Amino acid sequence: MKSSPAVLTSEPGHARAYGQEGLGYPVRLMAAFAAALALAIIWLVVQPGASVASMLTCAIVIAAVLLMLWRTRQLSRARNGSAHIMTALGAATVDIPVRLRTRMPLVLVTGDALAALFDRGEAARFVHVGAGAIWLRAERPNDLPRLAVAVKQWRDGRAPDGIVLAVAPAFHADTEMLAQSLRVVRQAASDAARLLGTRHFPGYIAVYQRLSTEPASPATPPQWYGVSSAVHMTDSQRFDTVIRAAENEVRHATDNRVAATRAAALASIAGWTQRVVIAPLADQRQPAAPWALFGAGWIDCGPASGVANPWERDVQMQTCVTRAAATASPTPWPLPQPLIGALPVRLWMPPRMAALAHAIVLLACAAAVAFVGSARNNAALLARVDADLARYASIPAARDAARRDALHTLVTDRDELDRYARTGIPLRLSFGMYRGAQMIPALNDAIASYAPPPPLPAVVTLDSMSLFDSGKAQLKDGSTRAMVEALDMIKQHPGKRILVAGHTDNVGTPSSNLKLSTARAEAVRAWLIEASGMASTHFAIQGYGDTHPVADNETEAGRAKNRRVEITLVPDAAHDMPMNSSVPLSNAARADTNEAVRQIFAPEV
């Protein structure tokens, strides 16, 4: 396929836009996608904690934003620096489908006589499409890195397929100057490969030299002699096949003299190319990466030859024969299409396809992390519920407050699992890892097994006449048997506080009755402290005299009931409030008792 080559414009600002600039790899889109995946995994699945999640979120967002800003700046610089190249490429390939431009080989050409290879008439050409490839002119070797980057952008992320170095010995005054220019080309090719992240570009050497002395005829196109390979050529003996091919041409040629001259010159210039051209490019002592030689070719085409030609001087030194002068070949000279026939097959994937593959890989990694995170979250949930069940089972019934606290935790666990069953499993426990439903029966059984303790007796009432003589406050002998029930109640509730209250009938004066009731309460308390072994701070006394009768003082039976000592367990919470007692208290008495408890124990609470 051929098309009219584009003219290189020197005014990028007025370049036409052909809409064929490759989009390249969507780095910014992939950065945003990866950041969104990471944040979703952190907040919805792993859930490491608010502080850790916030720190990770800040780090991910900052990294993604910096990457996108860097990529935006890189693309802007690349577009501004290669606008004229992109325009020239677009103009020259306007008739080539976008798909074909990535499949058609693209070769950078640098070195000597580029005008003779590219220019058509008086117009300076930059690109030539034809001869089986897209040929891109690099006027100066130092332009190779910039051109390679622009080509990769234009070809939708695909790098150039090779670099052709054109060598015309007649354009060089001596071998030293030629070697210096070759080292510049080698360094530029190495820099281009480094910028594009590849080891090397396939390199080809095309030598343009008049091998015969006969005038070149436009009707008879010159023939290429050379060798190329799909792999890196390390054995220069392959050039012998070129010489043998020229010798075979001599045997079959009608004009043996011209063919023989060409064959002899070809053998000489092949050896000269190895010594003078390939050696500096492959010298391991140079800092730049060696030129990756994939092919070399020679053609009986080039500028006029003379004694100033370094190759012809080499021939004269080797043979002591001066070659006859040859006229220049008419332009344009042929591009080395046979050399690139064996271009290595380089695996390449369109950037969007590569991004899609990378997105699938990121999704697979996110799914793996989600599965692992869900498994860990479910294991933590089951371990927590098991621990709550074990804690509840380990608390004895006597410690009812702690048991109720553990029961409340079980109810919370059961409600949580029941909510998951009704409204759906949260994402952090999903992905087929949820096993919480199997814990609901165990929780229900444990909750149903709770039995509240029997209610505490509010008051134990002791008959004063069984404890004391009339008008006395000293315990009678044998009276302790009457207080065993109260002692047992106190020992069963060691954490409770005890109020001992004394009461009398209305016989006597109120003041004497108040003193007697207080003294009797104090006597009972002293015995309870000694018998129970509890600290005195757990006990309080209160004398009421005849102010809180429970029966009519007008009868002997009523006065006997009013002469009493009441031992009351003080509730430590509202749910511990006694609901019944062996002897019910009146509302006023209960209120007075509570007020007494508040006043007596207030300094200690």
DSSP SS3 for 188: helix
312 and 368 inside one domain: no
163, 204 in Cβ contact below 8 A?
A: yes
Mean of per-residue pLDDT scores for the chain: 82
203 and 110 inside one domain: yes
Determine the distance from the C-alpha atom of residue 313 to the mean position of all C-alpha atoms in its chain, rounded to a whole number. 64
CA distance 342 to 230: 5
Question: Could you tell me if residue 298 is inside a domain?
Answer: yes
Question: Could you tell me if residue 569 is inside a domain?
Answer: yes
343 and 361 inside one domain: no
CA distance 501 to 517: 8
- Domain end (from 303, 334, 352): 352
User: In this predicted structure, what is the pLDDT of residue 406?
Assistant: 93
106 and 170 inside one domain: yes
158, 83 in Cβ contact below 8 A?
A: no
328 and 398 inside one domain: no
pLDDT, one tens digit per residue, over 284-293 is 888 889 998 9
pLDDT, one tens digit per residue, over 69-95 is 998 887 777 677 666 666 766 666 666
User: In this predicted structure, what is the pLDDT of residue 360?
Assistant: 95
Question: Could you tell me if residue 276 is inside a domain?
Answer: yes
Domain count, the chain: 3
472 and 579 inside one domain: yes
For residue 14, name the pLDDT band (cuts at 50, 70, 90).
Answer: very low
- Domain end (from 395, 425, 448): 448
User: In this predicted structure, what is the pLDDT of residue 7?
Assistant: 32
Question: Could you tell me if residue 29 is inside a domain?
Answer: no
Q: Can you give the CATH number for the domain in which 492 is found?
A: 3.30.1330.60
Of 580 and 449, the structure prediction assigns the larger pLDDT to 449
488 and 420 inside one domain: no
Q: What is the mean pLDDT of residues 591-601?
A: 51
CA distance 89 to 38: 40
325 and 382 inside one domain: no
- Domain end (from 448, 483, 502): 448
Q: What percent of the chain has pLDDT over 70?
A: 83
Question: Could you tell me if residue 208 is inside a domain?
Answer: yes
255, 264 in Cβ contact below 8 A?
A: no
pLDDT, one tens digit per residue, over 263-280 is 888 888 888 998 899 999
Question: Could you tell me if residue 233 is inside a domain?
Answer: yes
| One-letter-per-residue 3-state SS of 351-409 | HHHHHHHHHHHHHHHHHHHHHHHHHHHHHHHHHHHHHHHHHHHHCCCCCHHHHHHHHHH
Question: Could you tell me if residue 88 is inside a domain?
Answer: no
CA distance 118 to 61: 50
* Pairing state between β 564-570 and 497-503: antiparallel
295 and 423 inside one domain: no
Rounded to two decimals, what is the model's pTM?
0.59
DSSP SS3 for 8: coil
pLDDT, one tens digit per residue, over 310-360 is 888 888 888 877 777 888 888 889 999 988 888 887 777 778 888 999 999
The neighbouring-strand residues paired with 503 are: 545, 564
Q: Which domain holds residue 254?
A: 97-352
482 and 411 inside one domain: no
380 and 469 inside one domain: no
334 and 400 inside one domain: no
For residue 444, name the pLDDT band (cuts at 50, 70, 90).
Answer: very high
Question: Could you tell me if residue 330 is inside a domain?
Answer: yes
The DSSP secondary-structure symbol of 546 reads: T
Q: Tokens 């096949």, residue?
A: 241
Q: What percent of the chain has pLDDT over 90?
A: 32
